[in-house]
C-alpha cells in the first residue's frame, strides 16, 4: 500500500503494528516515523528524525543497509530480511523491511516498514539445528555400524558433530590407567583440531583434571563450561583456547556398566551455546558411542577367539597327516596373496585365509593309510579321499563361525565347467573365495612332495593352473597367482 503524506496521521500510520519510517531518498535523512518505530528503536520521534538512515543499523551492517536503501530507490528490490537494526539499548533485532518510494512536493521519499523478525529467525535457526542434529545422528549411526576400525568410528563421530555446525572441535578421550591418569585423544575433528593435538588432560583430581573432560570422567557426569574465558577451572587451557578462538566446551562421559571409560568433549567459538537441547543431544551421542565401542570390543574378542579355534583345528589336522602338514597353511597364505592381488578387501582376505587353514579338515576322517599310501589309489580309495570335502563342510557347519567357512571349504574342489565335486557346481555358483582357494590348492599340491610322487616344482604347478585357466579355474585368479609366483624371491 502506498502511503501519502496526507494519510500519515491516519489510523494506519498511528496504529500500525509495523514500525514505519520515512527517509529522504537524496540525503538519507529520516523525516518522519510512527509510534511503533519509536517503540521498536527505543528512541523518540525527535531523536529518530535527526538521524541518517544508516544510523539505524549496527556498524558492520551499514554497508549492506546502504545497498538496500539504493536498491529500494531504484525499485530493484522491495523486501529485505537479512539485516538487523540497532536499538537505543544497544541490542540488535533482526528485521524484515518492506519499502516503497513516492514523491512529495518534488522530493523523493522512501517509506520503510520494519517488522521484528526475531521469532522467524529463531524458528529458522532451530529448524537448521534440528536438521543438523538429525544428519549428525544418522552419520554417527552409519559410522557405528560400518566403520572398519575403532579409530575410523571415533573419527567419523567427531566429524559428524563438527560438520556444518557451530561446533569447532569434538574429540573423544580414553581414560588411561597410567600413573598420571591421562586422557588419550582417540579421535578428533573440526576446524580447531590443532587444539586437541598433544593436549594435556587428566582424569585425576588435579589441576589438569579440573577441566570438563577430567571431571566428566572422574565423576561420571556431564560438565558444561559455557564461557572458557570466565571459568577459573579452565585456566590450564585458557591461552590455548584463546589461540583457537574456543569460548565454550562441554564434556559427557562414555559409560560402560556404570563406570566411565572416556569422554566426548565438544567446543564452540561462542559462549553460552550449550543449552538443554545440546546437552540432551550430546548425551545421546555419548550413549550410542559407548554402546558401539563396547559391542565392537566384544565382537573383536569373539572373532579373535573364533580365529584361534580355526588355527587349533588346522594344527590338529596337520598333526595327523604329515604329508599334508603345512599344506593348508601354505594354501591359506598363497590364497590371501592372490585375493589381495585381485583387489579383494581386507575382511574378505581374512575369511579366505581362515577357510584355507581348514579347507582339508575332513581328511581327519579318512584312514591315514589311504592318505599316506605311496602307490596309486583304487577307485574306491579315491572316492573315499574325495569325501573329505563333504566331511570338511559338515564339520565346519557344526561350528557357528561368523564367516562362511563351511561353504568356501565345501567348494574348493568344484570347477567352473562343472567337472568338480561334490556338487558339480558351475561358474558363478561357486564362491569367489572357493575359486581362489582352488587355484592356490592345485598350485601347492602339484609343486610339493606327495606320498605317491616327489615334488614336481613351482613351474609344473604354474603350467597346470594355466592349462585349466578359464575352463576349470577362474582366469583372473590364475593370472594373479602367476604374477605372484613369477615375482623374484617367491617361495611357498
Ligand atoms: Fe582338498
Ligand atoms: Fe587342499
**Tens-digit pLDDT profile for residues 24-39:** 999 999 999 999 999 9
- The CA-atom distances, in angstroms, between 370 and each of 233, 301, 326, 399 are 78, 39, 19, 27
Say if CB 233 and CB 213 are below 8 A apart.
no
Distance 371 CA to ligand 1 centre (A): 12
Cell numbers placing 322: 604329515
Distance 265 CA to ligand 1 centre (A): 54
DSSP 406-467: HHHHHTTT--TBS-SSSS--BGGGS-HHHHHHHHHHHHHHHHS-BTTB----HHHHHHHHHH
Distance 385 CA to ligand 1 centre (A): 9
Distance 49 CA to ligand 1 centre (A): 98
| 8 against 98, higher pLDDT | 98
Find, among 462, 439, 458, 437, the residue nearest to 447 by Cα. Answer: 458
- The CA-atom distances, in angstroms, between 270 and each of 167, 212, 249, 267 are 9, 17, 9, 9
Distance 435 CA to ligand 2 centre (A): 13
Q: Is the pLDDT of residue 6 over 60?
A: no
From the CA of 326, the nearest ligand is 2
Would strands 259-268 and 248-256 be described as parallel, antiparallel, or unpaired? antiparallel
- Type and span of the H or E element at 85: strand 79-86
Distance 316 CA to ligand 1 centre (A): 16
Distance 173 CA to ligand 1 centre (A): 49
From the CA of 421, the nearest ligand is 1
Q: Is the pLDDT of residue 91 over 80?
A: yes
Ramachandran category for residue 258: left, alpha or beta (phi over 0 → left; psi -120 to 50 → alpha): left
Look at residue 324 in the predicted model and tell me its pLDDT.
66
Would strands 19-24 and 30-33 be described as parallel, antiparallel, or unpaired? antiparallel
Q: Is the pLDDT of residue 338 over 50?
A: yes
| 8 against 274, higher pLDDT | 274
Q: Is the pLDDT of residue 4 over 80?
A: no
DSSP 233-283: GGGGGHHHHHHTT--EEEEEEEEETTEEEEEEEEEESSTT---HHHHHHHH
From the CA of 441, the nearest ligand is 2
Q: What is the pLDDT of residues 373-423, one digit of tens each?
A: 888 899 999 999 999 999 999 999 988 898 999 999 999 999 999 999 999
Distance 357 CA to ligand 2 centre (A): 9
CA angle 145, 298, 148 (to 5 degrees): 35
Say if CB 77 and CB 84 are below 8 A apart.
no
From the CA of 412, the nearest ligand is 1
Q: What is the pLDDT of residues 168-226, one digit of tens each?
A: 999 999 999 999 999 999 999 999 999 999 899 999 999 999 999 999 999 999 999 98
Tell me the sheet residues that pair with 33: 21
From the CA of 387, the nearest ligand is 1
- Map out the domains of the chain with their CATH numbers: 5-116 (3.30.450.20), 122-297 (3.30.450.40), 321-486 (1.10.3210.10)
Beta-carbon contacts of residue 393 (< 8 Å; ≥ 6 apart): 362, 406, 407, 409, 410
Instruction: Give the helix, strand, coil percentages of the chain, each rounded to 5.
Output: 55, 20, 30
Q: How far apart are CA 71 and CA 169, in angstroms?
A: 40
Cis-peptide into 422, omega within 30 deg: yes
From the CA of 391, the nearest ligand is 1
Q: How far apart are CA 429 and CA 434, in angstroms?
A: 10
Q: Average pLDDT for residues 283-298, to the nearest whole number? A: 89
Look at residue 2 in the predicted model and tell me its pLDDT.
46
Say if CB 437 and CB 356 are below 8 A apart.
yes
Tell me the pLDDT band of 371, cut-offs 50, 70 and 90.
Answer: confident
Cell numbers placing 398: 557344526
Say if CB 365 and CB 388 are below 8 A apart.
yes
Cell numbers placing 188: 578428533
The number of beta carbons lying within 10 Å of the beta carbon of residue 400 is: 6
- The CA-atom distances, in angstroms, between 141 and each of 158, 169, 187, 278 are 12, 19, 16, 18
Q: Is the pLDDT of residue 322 over 80?
A: no
Three-class SS state of 56? helix
Say if CB 351 and CB 404 are below 8 A apart.
yes
Look at residue 70 in the predicted model and tell me its pLDDT.
95
From the CA of 363, the nearest ligand is 1
Say if CB 170 and CB 267 are below 8 A apart.
yes
Find, among 337, 357, 359, the residue nearest to 408 by Cα. Answer: 359
Distance 317 CA to ligand 2 centre (A): 12
Three-class SS state of 141? helix
Q: How far apart are CA 33 and CA 18, in angstroms?
A: 11
Distance 305 CA to ligand 2 centre (A): 24
Q: How far apart are CA 459 and CA 443, in angstroms?
A: 9
Distance 137 CA to ligand 2 centre (A): 48
Q: What is the pLDDT of residues 424-481, one digit of tens each?
A: 999 999 999 999 999 999 999 998 877 777 888 899 999 999 999 999 999 999 999 9
Distance 125 CA to ligand 2 centre (A): 65
Distance 411 CA to ligand 2 centre (A): 11
pTM here? Answer: 0.59
Distance 335 CA to ligand 1 centre (A): 14
Q: Is the pLDDT of residue 153 over 50?
A: yes
Number of residues that make up the chain = 492
Distance 36 CA to ligand 1 centre (A): 92
Distance 343 CA to ligand 2 centre (A): 23
- Of the ranges 60-64, 137-141, 336-340, 360-364, which one carries the lowest mean pLDDT score? 137-141
Q: How far apart are CA 131 and CA 121, in angstroms?
A: 15
Tell me the pLDDT band of 3, cut-offs 50, 70 and 90.
Answer: low
Distance 396 CA to ligand 2 centre (A): 15
Say if CB 211 and CB 237 are below 8 A apart.
yes
Q: What is the DSSP letter of 377?
A: P
Q: Is the pLDDT of residue 1 over 60?
A: no
Distance 330 CA to ligand 2 centre (A): 10
What is the Cα 200 distance to its own chain's centre?
26
- Type and span of the H or E element at 340: helix 327-341
Q: How far apart are CA 200 and CA 184, in angstroms?
A: 9
Distance 402 CA to ligand 1 centre (A): 22
What is the Cα 357 distance to its own chain's centre?
34
Distance 327 CA to ligand 2 centre (A): 7
Q: How far apart are CA 53 and CA 65, in angstroms?
A: 8
From the CA of 409, the nearest ligand is 1
Distance 401 CA to ligand 1 centre (A): 20
Distance 360 CA to ligand 1 centre (A): 5
Distance 327 CA to ligand 1 centre (A): 10
Look at residue 140 in the predicted model and tell me its pLDDT.
81
If you average pLDDT over every residue of the chain, what do you get?
A: 90
Amino acid at each position: 500500500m502506498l502511503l501519502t503524506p496526507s494519510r500519515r496521521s491516519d489510523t494506519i500510520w498511528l496504529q500500525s503494528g509495523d514500525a514505519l519510517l520515512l527517509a529522504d531518498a537524496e540525503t538519507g535523512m529520516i523525516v518522519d516515523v510512527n509510534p511503533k518505530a519509536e517503540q521498536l528503536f527505543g528512541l523518540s520521534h525527535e531523536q529518530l528524525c535527526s538521524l541518517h538512515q544508516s544510523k539505524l543499523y549496527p556498524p558492520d551492517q551499514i554497508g549492506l543497509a546502504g545497498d538496500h536503501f539504493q536498491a529500494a530507490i531504484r525499485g530493484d528490490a522491495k523486501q529485505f530480511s537479512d539485516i538487523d537494526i540497532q536499538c537505543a539499548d544497544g541490542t540488535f533485532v533482526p528485521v524484515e523491511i518492506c519499502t516503497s518510494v513516492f514523491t512529495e512536493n518534488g522530493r523523493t521519499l522512501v517509506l520503510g516498514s520494519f517488522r521484528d523478525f526475531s521469532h522467524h529467525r529463531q524458528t529458522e535457526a532451530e529448524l537448521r539445528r534440528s536438521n543438523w542434529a538429525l544428519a549428525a545422528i544418522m552419520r554417527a549411526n552409519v559410522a557405528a555400524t560400518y566403520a572398519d576400525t575403532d579409530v575410523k568410528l571415533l573419527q567419523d563421530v567427531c566429524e559428524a558433530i563438527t560438520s556444518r555446525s557451530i561446533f569447532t572441535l569434538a574429540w573423544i578421550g580414553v581414560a588411561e590407567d597410567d600413573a598420571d591418569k591421562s586422557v588419550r585423544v582417540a579421535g578428533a575433528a573440526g576446524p580447531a583440531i590443532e587444539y586437541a593435538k598433544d593436549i594435556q588432560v587428566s582424569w585425576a583430581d588435579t589441576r589438569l583434571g579440573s577441566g570438563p573432560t577430567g571431571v566428566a570422567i572422574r565423576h561420571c557426569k556431564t560438565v558444561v563450561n559455557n564461557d572458557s574465558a570466565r571459568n577459573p577451572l579452565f585456566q590450564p587451557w585458557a591461552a590455548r583456547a584463546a589461540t583457537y578462538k574456543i569460548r565454550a566446551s562441554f564434556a559427557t562421559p562414555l559409560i560402560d556398566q556404570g563406570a566411565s571409560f572416556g569422554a566426548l568433549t565438544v567446543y564452540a567459538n561462542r559462549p553460552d551455546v550449550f543449552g538443554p537441547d545440546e546437552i540432551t543431544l550430546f548425551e545421546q551421542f555419548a550413549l550410542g558411542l559407548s554402546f558401539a565401542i563396547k559391542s565392537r570390543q566384544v565382537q573383536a574378542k569373539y572373532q579373535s577367539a573364533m580365529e584361534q579355534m580355526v588355527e587349533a583345528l588346522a594344527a590338529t589336522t596337520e598333526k595327523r597327516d604329515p604329508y599334508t602338514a603345512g599344506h593348508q597353511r601354505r594354501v591359506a597364505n598363497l590364497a590371501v596373496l592372490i585375493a589381495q592381488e585381485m583387489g579383494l578387501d581386507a575382511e574378505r582376505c581374512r575369511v579366505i585365509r581362515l577357510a584355507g587353514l581348514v579347507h582339508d579338515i575332513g581328511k581327519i576322517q579318512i584312514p591315514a593309510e589311504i592318505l599316506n599310501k605311496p602307490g596309486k589309489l583304487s577307485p574306491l580309495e579315491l572316492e573315499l579321499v574325495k569325501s573329505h570335502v563333504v566331511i570338511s563342510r559338515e564339520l565346519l557347519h557344526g561350528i557357528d563361525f561368523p564367516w562362511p567357512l563351511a561353504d568356501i571349504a565345501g567348494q574348493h574342489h568344484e570347477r567352473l565347467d562343472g567337472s568338480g565335486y561334490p556338487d558339480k557346481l558351475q561358474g558363478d555358483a561357486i564362491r569367489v573365495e572357493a575359486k581362489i582357494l582352488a587355484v592356490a590348492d592345485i598350485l601347492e599340491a602339484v609343486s610339493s612332495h606327495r606320498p605317491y610322487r616327489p615334488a614336481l616344482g613351482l613351474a609344473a604347478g604354474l603350467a597346470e593352473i594355466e592349462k585349466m585357466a578359464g575352463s576349470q579355474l577362474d582366469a583372473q585368479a590364475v593370472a594373479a597367482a602367476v604374477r605372484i609366483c613369477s615375482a623374484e624371491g617367491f617361495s611357498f
